[in-house]
Amino acid sequence: MAKQPARQSDKFSFDVSRCLICSARNLNMCGALEPEELAKLSGMARCETFGSGDVLFHEGDKATSVYNITDGAVRLSTTLKSGRRQVIGFLFSGDFIGFSDRNEYPWTGEAVRGAKVCRFSRGDLTRATQELPKIEHRLLEMASADISAAQDHITMLGQSSAAEKLSAFLVMLSRKAATRGGSGNPVHLPMTREDIADYLGMAFETISRCFARLESEGLITVESIRVIRINDMDALADFSDSR
C-alpha cells in the first residue's frame, strides 16, 4: 500500500531557464507560451520529487493543486466502498493532472516507482489563464485528448476479452513512449501486475496468464518482468481490435 505522508524533497521555484530546457514542455500547457510569457508561469511552479509509492494527494482531499508530470510515472486510482480499486490512468512526462469539475480530488495520485512533477496552485493557474488565454486554449486541447483517451479506455473495458485488453494496453504504452521520444519497443512497465489488472478491470492472475499466452503465440517476448518486447506491432495492434 501507499506510504503516507508524501516525501517531498527538492522543493523550489523554477527559474525560467529550467523551463526553457524542460523535456516535457512541448507536450504540456507550457508549450503554448513564448519565453517571456513562460516566466509568468515559472514563478508559480513548485518542483517536487516523489519516491516509489509516495502519495501526491488522496481521493477526497481538497483539490488545491494541479500538476505537470516532468519525469517518472503517476498512477491515478479510485477505491469503491467495497474495496475494489479502479486505476483510471498512468501518467508520464508531459501529462497533466487537474481536469475535474469537483472541489475534491476524485482520485488518489501516487508515484509508481518515483516521479517528478511541477505543481501549481489552482488559484494561481486561474489568474494566469485570465492574463494569457492561450493557456486555456491549450488546456482545452489537452482535455479533449484526455476525453478521447478515456473513451478508448471505456471501449476496451466494455468490449474486449482479457487478452485483447492486455494487447491494447501494451500497444498504448508503446505509443506513449514513442511520443516521448523513445523507440517504444521493448515496452518498459514501471507498474505491477496488480496495477495493470486494476487498470484493465481484471484479476492479476489473469494478467499473468495473458502474458504467458501472448508470449506462447509469439506476439510478445517477456524479456524480464518489467520489459516486454513486441515482436510484431501490427499483429498485436490488430489482435487488440481497438480500431
Partner DNA sequence: CCCTCGCGTTGACACAGGTCAAGAAAAAGA
Partner DNA sequence: TCTTTTTCTTGACCTGTGTCAACGCGAGGG
Closest distance to a second copy from the beta carbon of 7 (Å): 27
β-strand 46-50 against 9-13: which pairing, if any? Answer: antiparallel
Retrieve residue 5's grid coordinates. 505522508
* 18 lies in the binding site for DNA (CB under 7 A): no
Q: In the window 34-63, what residues touch DNA (CB under 7 A)?
A: 52
Residue (47 or 162) nearer to DNA, CB: 162
> Going by C-beta distance under 8 Å and a sequence separation of 6 or more, which residues neighbour residue 21?
none
* 227 lies in the binding site for DNA (CB under 7 A): no
* 85 lies in the binding site for DNA (CB under 7 A): no
Residue (88 or 162) nearer to DNA, CB: 162
* 194 lies in the binding site for DNA (CB under 7 A): yes
Would you say the C-alpha torsion 63, 68, 73, 76 has a positive or negative sign? positive
* 206 lies in the binding site for DNA (CB under 7 A): yes
From the list a second copy, DNA, none, partner contacted by residue 225 (C-beta under 5 to 8 A by kind): DNA
- C-alpha pair distances (Å), 62 with each of 36, 57, 59, 71, 73: 32, 9, 9, 24, 22
Closest distance to DNA from the beta carbon of 191 (Å): 8
Closest distance to a second copy from the beta carbon of 136 (Å): 5
Euclidean distance between CA atoms 175 and 187, whole angstroms: 9
* CA geometry: angle 51, 55, 56, nearest 5 deg: 100
- Residue 9 belongs to what H/E stretch? strand 9-13
Closest distance to a second copy from the beta carbon of 105 (Å): 11
| Residue ranges that bind DNA, judged by CB under 7 A | 52, 161-163, 192-194, 201-209, 211-212, 222, 225-226
